[in-house]
Structure 1
Amino acid sequence: MRLRIPNIHTRPNEVPMVAETATGSDVEVAGAQEMNEKDGTQVTSKAEEDTVTPEFQHGVQMAQAMNQVWTREHLIAAYIIIWVINFIQGFGSGITGTLTPYVTSSFQAHSLTATTSIISSLIAGLWKLPYAKILDVWGRPQGFALMVASTVLGFIMMAGCTNVTTYCAAQVFYQVGYTAIDFTITIFVADTSSLKNRAWWIAYTASPWLIVTWCYGPATNSVLESIGFRWGFGIWAIVYPIVCAPLFWLMWHNLKKAEKQGLIPKQDSGRTWRESVIYYAVQFDVVGILLIATGLSLFLLSFSLYSYQAEQWKSLMIICFLVFGILLSKARSSASTQKTPTSSGWNQKVSTTMSSIRTASP
């Protein structure tokens, strides 16, 4: 396409200037050069990634500062401890899952086994959303310690439960802690490993499952034949803090080491406690998490509880579960859509550009 633009200052014997638009190949070459330039600026070394970035959230800044003070010996010890923690995680998870039917059967409620699993797994999955924010805002060691405490609390409640309701609540605390500990370990590996070797190290942390798969079955039989299912849960409330404490100490020690070296910028928000509560409620999307958690819980629980109703699917309770579950989930998705920036400005720019081209065309 050629755009002939007459030169208003030309003399009669001069040839008018002809402006040619770039061809497709010219655009492709220019685009490739631009992409190469962008790629060149985006590629960063591991040292640059570890540099504390003032624009990042405080928890991320602490992780960047910690990466600058880790010693080789501490990192080796941390990765060995991580392997042991994942072994304990898998071993305890296998035994806990196998013991669940025995617990519900002891309370004459074996059919609620699936219900407890649905609720705990659902809440644990949704918990990852605000927990990721906790790690970025509060810090890795603090979040890790909080989730170990949640897991221990879950085991204590399971060991002392007297009904299915208490056991279900205990499963929620346990699953939330279990999932978050695994998530924290993955984040730790991402923080402390280079991109080149990251996949290998993540696979290394999952390798205990190759052993656990063959161990927890016989171990569960031994528990049932000897100490019983209550101590089968209670023993993990003792093991978890002992196994996880060394990793927490390593992270906390290097965090304080980075603080002493002045690598972590001090932040003064200037907010009151009331303003801080509102700020973190918005940051963690508390209302949104409650809406989606309640909505999905009601919707999914209806598929497990309908068989207990005389009218089954025609039961008013099941219908309410389905309707309110869908409405609450829809309310959460609608709120997210409204927060998404509109593209009206971009469309206006495109329309203006296209109008200019049409005006300039012959």
Structure 2
Amino acid sequence: MSEATLQHAHSKVMVDTDSTSSEPVPTQAGVKNVEAIKTAFGKVDFWVMYIGLLLVAYISSLDGQSFWTLEPFITSSFSAHSMLTVLPIINQIINAVSKFPIVKLADTFGRMEAYIFSLVCYIVGYITMCLVTNYSGFAGASVLYSIGTSGIYMMQQLIIADTTTLANRGFLSSLPDFPFIINAWVGPIYAVAFLPDNWRWTMGIMIILMPVVSIMVIGGLWHAEHKAKKVGKVRPAIRWNKNFLMELVMGMDLVGVLLLAGAWSLILFPLLRATSYDDGWRSGSVIAMIVSGVVLHILLIFWEKYFATYPIVPIRMIQNRTVLGGLLSVFFIFMSWFLYNSYLTSYLYLTRGIDFDKAQWITNGWMFASVGSSILLGLVMKFHKRYLIWAFIGLAINMIGNGLMVNFRGPENAAVEIVFSQILAGLGAGMITCATQVGAQAAVPHQDVGIVTGIYLSIAAIGGAIGSAIAGSMWTNMMPNQLTSHGVPADALSEILGDVTFARESLAEYPGISDAYTYVTKRINIVSLCVLIPIFGCLLAMKNLRLPDDKVAAGAPSTAKDANGEDEIRV
């Protein structure tokens, strides 16, 4: 495609995807400015920014690992240990719904502005969490903190997508997850050093460290933008005139953002909390929230199709089979993982006599393997220039690992066999997520890269939430009957169900508890394995796009045929 075509007067692109129609895709000011800024990047700007991104990734990972280690002690310091599950639920919901407004902010105003907004939310949230004197205030402040952490991670992925070729995307987009391999071990040790009374110091340290390492990211973006402004390539994102408010509402698609956030919150909250209601899934509150969430989804589709100028979820994206296949693949992968992982630590603690810290290391095996295989596959895709075959190989490996987990659940199996199956499943999952994220990004124009990345990461969170909900429901419904059938009397049932430590201490008196745990977790594992089957169809729907070395995110990719007659991304 010629240079003149790229300089279309209205900066609109035609995308030849697998959707039902090819329609002009309007490019927002923030995206246009990113394309201009990218041309102004020097080597120094690039390396400064990427070193900053790696440092931010490390600090974010250390913060995350230490925070969730401290969380039980934090709730206890407020005399609110019974509220231990509240913060994880808040985090899951905010993590799923906050990425969309952050993406729209980045597309409307720019990447630097969206990153600064996320950083401010992070800092203000942590400062407030340090100052509050009750748990309700702490939980409220954690909303800002969760928006900040989710936004910072989202912007890392988006900046990488803006500044990398499709061939390099898989490797570089996996790097923000690499520090987990280190901090899964370092984080808890670091956190424990501040216990029991000085946990606020961990937040104070992060309030200082995160802005310091972010200076390199913000500085790299600002310097490149400054150079682009000098040659007139960057224009104001929003015009400050009488139409400012309307431009802001339509550019950010605030109506779509509110509908989407409301719909997902109303569905996620009851999924995560249904078992806490007296009537469980039959509770009127649970049913009302889920129905309301479905109604809001219908309204969202209507708004996005007929009224939104820059839709938060473009209909063309839903019609794109490569994008849809990638989104559904990550949905099922995370649903499967959260299904079997939800009670794995408790299972290891009770049936194998493994202490909680060592059991947590075993459950982390999936993440270690997933991060490692994602990074390695990114390097492989750089040279192979294809993604789809690796997703199929990853799925086969993941299913073998899950199948072995079902077989290795018996008391006669050694713990090392569970570790092996965890690592195998993680290796496959990392390959699938790396390949399908790059594939989904490759199938859309630059205007939609941020949106598709945000949807991809949010869909993963929703899949995990649904997986946790299914596991919780199976556990709640099956475990009482299994304990009773294995000799646990009714008067001891409640305490054994509610306290895994007490259940372990009761093994000498009621050895059947171990058999009950094995039976239920094996059934959860079987469901987890079955959830992987639809991914075959999802991957078959995706086009085997080529990932060139010289094609970057900035620009309008379209599908063409390469020398071998196969689909290739061209600018």
Aligned residue number for residue 260 of structure 2: 289
Alignment correspondent of 1:328: 292
Give 1:324 shift.
2.8
Aligned CA distance change for structure 1 residues 109 and 341 (closer, same or farther; 3 Å): closer
Q: Could you say which residue in structure 2 is the equivalent of 1:10?
A: none
TM-score, length-scaled by structure 2:
0.47
Match of 1:234 among 188, 204, 207: 204
Report what 1:345 is aligned to.
none
Unaligned runs of 5+ in 1: 1-40, 307-311, 343-362
Q: Does 1:156 align with 2:127?
A: yes
Output the TM-score relative to the length of structure 1: 0.72
User: Does the CA contact (< 8 Å) of 2:126 and 2:203 recur in 1?
Assistant: yes
Which residue is 1:200 aligned to? 171
Deviates more, 1:137-146 or 1:198-207: 198-207
- Shift in Å at residue 209 of structure 1? 1.9
- Counterpart Cα distance in 1 of 2:180 and 2:113: 27
The one of 39, 47, 55 equivalent to 1:68 is 39
Q: Counterpart amino acid of 1:136?
A: D
Shift of residue 198, structure 1, vs aligned partner: 1.5
Q: Which runs of 5+ in 2 are unaligned?
A: 13-26, 307-571
Q: Following the alignment from structure 1 to structure 2, what is the Cα–Cα distance between the partners of residues 51 and 67?
A: 18
Distance 1:139 1:52 in 2: 21
1:54 partner amino acid: S
SS at match of 2:165: coil
Which deviates further from its counterpart, 265-274 or 52-61?
265-274
Q: State the distance in 2 between where 1:314 and 1:100 align.
A: 26
Structure 1 residues 132 and 340: alpha-carbon distance in aligned structure 2, compared to 1, 3 A threshold: closer
State the percentage of identical aligned residues: 22
Maintained 8 Å contact 1:298/1:324: no
- Structure with bigger gyration radius: 1
Please give the residue correspondences for 1:331-350 in structure 2 after superposition, counting only pairs within 5 Å: 331-339=295-303
1:255-294 to 2 correspondences below 5 Å: 255-265=225-235, 271-276=242-247, 278-280=249-251, 282-283=253-254, 285-294=256-265
Residue 112 of structure 1: CA displacement? 1.3
Aligned counterparts of 1:314 and 1:217: Cα–Cα separation in 2:
34
Q: Give the distance between the partners of 1:82 and 1:52, measured in 2 at CA.
A: 34
Aligned residue among 313, 323, 329 for 2:279: 313
Equivalent position of 1:173 in the other structure: 144
Alignment-mate amino acid for residue 147 of structure 2: V
User: Secondary structure at the residue paired with 1:285?
Assistant: helix
Task: Provide the C-alpha distance between the structure 2 equivalents of 1:117 and 1:220, rounded to a whole number of angstroms.
Answer: 18
Distance change (3 Å), C-alpha of 1:314 and 1:200: closer
Q: Give yes or no for contact 1:51–1:64 (8 Å, CA) kept in 2.
A: no
Q: 1:186 aligns with which of 133, 157, 167?
A: 157
Instruction: Tell me, yes or no, if the aligned pair for 1:52 and 1:61 is still in contact at 8 Å.
Output: no
After superposition, the Cα gap between the structure-2 partners of 1:50 and 1:236, relative to the gap in structure 1 and judged at 3 Å, is farther
Which residue, 48, 52, 69 being the options, matches 1:81? Answer: 52
Deviates more, 1:323-332 or 1:273-282: 273-282
Aligned equivalents of 2:280 and 2:56: distance in 1?
47
CA distance 1:219–1:50, change in 2 (3 Å): farther
Equivalent position to 1:215, from 176, 186, 193:
186
Deviations 1:292-320 (A, max 9, x none): 154135524643643xxxxx2389xx945
Q: Distance in 2 between matches of 1:101 and 1:292?
A: 30
Decide whether the 8 Å contact of 1:54 with 1:265 is kept in 2. no
| CA distances 1:100-132 after superposition (whole Å, capped 9, x unpaired) | 111111222212121221022202210112211
After the TM superposition, which of the residue ranges 74-83 and 52-61 deviates more from structure 2?
52-61
Judging changes above 3 Å, is the alpha-carbon distance between structure 1 residues 297 and 169 closer, same or farther for their aligned structure 2 residues?
farther
Quote how far apart the aligned CAs of 1:195 are.
1.3
Q: Structure 1 residues 294 and 179, CA, compared in 2 at 3 Å: closer, same or farther?
A: closer
Equivalent AA in structure 2 for residue 117 of structure 1: P
Give the CA deviation at 1:328: 1.9
**SS in structure 1 of the partner of residue 117 of structure 2:** helix
1:89–1:111 distance in 2 versus 1, CA, 3 Å: same
Pair 1:197–1:290, CA change in 2 (3 A): closer
Q: Which amino acid aligns with 1:313?
A: D
CA distance in 1, matches of 2:6, 2:157: 17
